[in-house]
Structure 1
Amino acid sequence: MSTAHVLGGVTVPLVTTLDDSGRPDAVAARPLLEALARARVHGLMLLGSNGEGALLPADSTAEFVAAVVEQWHALRPGGHVIVNVSAPGTVDMLRRAEFALRGRPDALVVTPPSYFTFRRDEVEAHIRAIERFEHPYAVYNVPKYATALTPETLGALLDSPWLVGMKDSSGDADAFAAFLAVVADRDDVAITQGSERDLLSALRAGASGIVPGVANIAPGAAVRLYELWSTDAAAAEAAQVVLAGLTRVHTIRPGVPAVKGILHDRGLIATPLPAPPLAALNRTELDALRATLDPDEAELIGTRRA
């Protein structure tokens, strides 16, 4: 599948830059967006787990989405921006979608509902509710945070003219293979891989793209893996090792605070602030991250502060 597809190629699940008051700030994202464009990244995913979407009020994100969409399309003509609008319940999900659509993203992204235990028909109804907007959407399977999507539910959604595919971050190879089988006869519906340790194996199995969180800090390795996986096995495997290895930053501080701290330390975002109740890195954590990243300095974007 071509990188022209909204889920094709390398999609970076972008961090959400915040100003000193904690509001999303697209101007502060400009250096990072420029660096990602220079690395030839194909697309962005906004407000996912790396983008702290669940912690940010929907009405605070509309201007950020619109500004990032405009900037990215200017920096990467033909590039795509997808926006996660997931929420535990359907009403909140639809409200988030309304705000996101003001920014004219290329597609929306929605997980199954969360918090409670839901029947399959309830999961399908929640996802299908987004179709009222008549806008392209993808399903996001992330069992760590939401009800697990099943191949049966994905298959039931294939009659939708608005479904463009799904992102799988389950880390379950058998489930991933089952999702690929469901869409095997649909060249318009893409399956992407979000698990950093499974990127190369997913592409070899038939994935249309990859969505690795560590591509925020090492986009070149992600692009290299995607571009070379079918033509240069050794280079692709080396890139996979780099990307999987970079997940070690989360052993020092899990998730967004580590990524934002690194990006701020390298001059790519104005503040390292995560959304409350997450706290920014302390100096000890930053020093530990610097030390653990030293072996991969050549792979990282930006330049570390003195």
Structure 2
Amino acid sequence: MLKVEDLKGVIPPIVTPVDDEENVDEQGLKKVIDYVISGGVHGVFVLGSNGEFYAFDYENKKRAVEITVRHVNKRVPVYVGASAITTKECIKLAKMAEEAGADAVTVLTPMFIKPNEKEMYNHFEAIAKSTSLPVILYNNPDKTTNNISVSLLEKLSKIENIIGIKNTSFDFAQTVEYIRVTRDNKNFKVLSGSDYLIYATLAYGGAGCVAGTANVAPRLVVDIYEKYMAGDYKGAIDAQYKLIPLRNAYNYGSFPVPMKDCLNILGLEIGHPVKPIDHCSEEKLQAIKKVLDDLGLTNM
């Protein structure tokens, strides 16, 4: 089980390779895990947004989690996405993650429905109480249309096993406020969920990032964190700027396929996105290849 001091660094929300029937592909998943761990990441997050969590039934989710826990084999902490629309389903996923041996769960705000703040608080509180695992909140208002306000976050941070939040929002002022209102709470940390804002989040006292680009360029993303922590601020900001063209590649196709296409170009052979999402166009694939060439990743 994760201790709050271990919630840090670069945690990629790993892509989920699938077979021709769109079921979890074990060998592909193992390849992705080994690739990111060899790049020096500080954790692995399975069934996040980049992992197409919304696309899988319970059995596939369980399989993905069990494969990940077994294959990571305690090399780094394993975070499991336990996100769904209903509290009941999130609790079911959190219990499954705990039984499978995960180190922590990550829970997104509900999507499609619009809970008020009291309903949202009750939702996260019930999930936290259902498991002995640490819980990391996941705010992604662009995708879910629900936002964890600063005042709600302050209340949720007082729940014993809610130990952090990943903020995937371009409202950086909100990240700063999250950090400000929890600064004196030694049992709570704030992570960047936007790959544009890793350096900035660290500068304000954040603990690290959950970065989709770390699927593809783990070593570069790790450089931002490790150089910053070592006091090499120029090296860290240079690495941050170097990462931006890869983050921009998300615009080349429907989310979240660009990172899968990147990994296929790099030779990992992890297959297709789950329909209705499809691969990037041939023109955009060439643009992605140039980004990867410029980062020196295609020569590895």
Which TM-score applies when normalising by structure 1?
0.90
> Match for 2:289: what amino acid?
R
1:89 aligns with 2:106: no
Distance in 2 (alpha carbons) for counterparts of 1:133 and 1:35 = 30
Residues of 2 paired with 1:302 and 1:95: CA distance? 43
Hey, what does 2:15 align to over in structure 1? 15
- Show CA shifts across 1:235-261 (max 9, x none): 111110122221221222132221111
The CA deviation at 1:199 is 0.7
Q: Which whole-Å CA distance do the structure 1 matches of 2:254 and 2:42 have between them? A: 26
Distance 2:158 2:136 in 1: 13
Is 1:137 aligned to 2:135, yes or no?
A: yes
- Aligned residue number for residue 116 of structure 1: 113
- Which runs of no fewer than 5 residues in structure 1 stay unpaired? none
Cα distance in 1 for residues equivalent to 2:194 and 2:272: 25
Deviations 1:205-236 (A, max 9, x none): 00011111111111111111101114112111
Aligned to 2:292: 293
Using the alignment, how far apart are the partners of 2:187 and 2:4 within structure 1? 11
What runs of 5+ residues in structure 2 fail to find an aligned partner? none
Give the Cα–Cα distance (whole angstroms) in 2 for the partners of residues 156 and 149 of structure 1: 11
Distance 1:14 1:301, change over 3 A: farther
AA in 1 matched with 2:87: T
TM-score (structure 2 length as normaliser): 0.91
**Stretch deviating more after TM superposition (272-281 or 168-177):** 272-281
Structure 1 residue aligned with 2:168: 169
Residue in structure 1 matched with residue 245 of structure 2 by the alignment: 245
2:261 alignment counterpart: 261
Q: Any runs of at least 4 consecutive aligned residues in structure 1 with deviations exceeding 4 A, and if so which?
A: none
Q: How many residue pairs end up in the alignment?
A: 296
Instruction: Using the TM superposition, give the Cα deviation of residue 286 of structure 1 relative to its aligned residue in structure 2, in angstroms.
Output: 2.3
Structure 2 CA distance for partners of 1:101 and 1:277, relative to 1, 3 Å: farther
| Residues 109, 302 of structure 1: alpha-carbon distance in 2 compared, 3 angstrom cutoff | farther
The letter of the residue matching 2:44 is: L
SS of equivalent residue, structure 2 residue 288: helix
8 Å Cα contact 1:108/1:136 also seen in 2: yes
> Is the Cα–Cα contact under 8 Å of residues 13 and 216 in structure 1 kept in the other structure?
yes
Aligned equivalent of 2:219: 220
| Alpha-carbon displacement from aligned partner over 1:80-114 (angstroms, at most 9, x marks no partner) | 11111111222222233233333221111112222
Q: Quick one: distance in 2 between partners of 1:44 and 1:111?
A: 17
- Measure how far apart 1:294 and its partner are: 2.5
Residue 191 of structure 2 corresponds to residue 183 of structure 1: no
For the Cα contact (< 8 Å) 1:35–1:301, is it kept in 2?
A: no
Distance 1:288 1:177, change over 3 A: closer
User: Is contact 2:91–2:130 with CA below 8 Å preserved after alignment?
Assistant: no
Percent identity, aligned pairs only, is 27
The answer (yes or no) to whether the contact 2:265–2:289 under 8 Å persists in 1 is no
Post-superposition offset of 1:3: 9.7
Residue in 2 aligned with 1:42?
42
**Between 236-245 and 275-284, the greater mean CA deviation after superposition:** 275-284
SS at 2:105's partner residue? strand
C-alpha displacement of 1:170: 1.0
Q: Say what the alpha-carbon RMSD is for the aligned residues.
A: 2.1
C-alpha separation between the residues in 2 aligned to 1:260 and 1:70?
22
Q: Deviations over 1:87-142 (max 9, x none)?
A: 12222222332333332211111122222222110010111121222321111111
Match of 1:101 among 80, 83, 98: 98
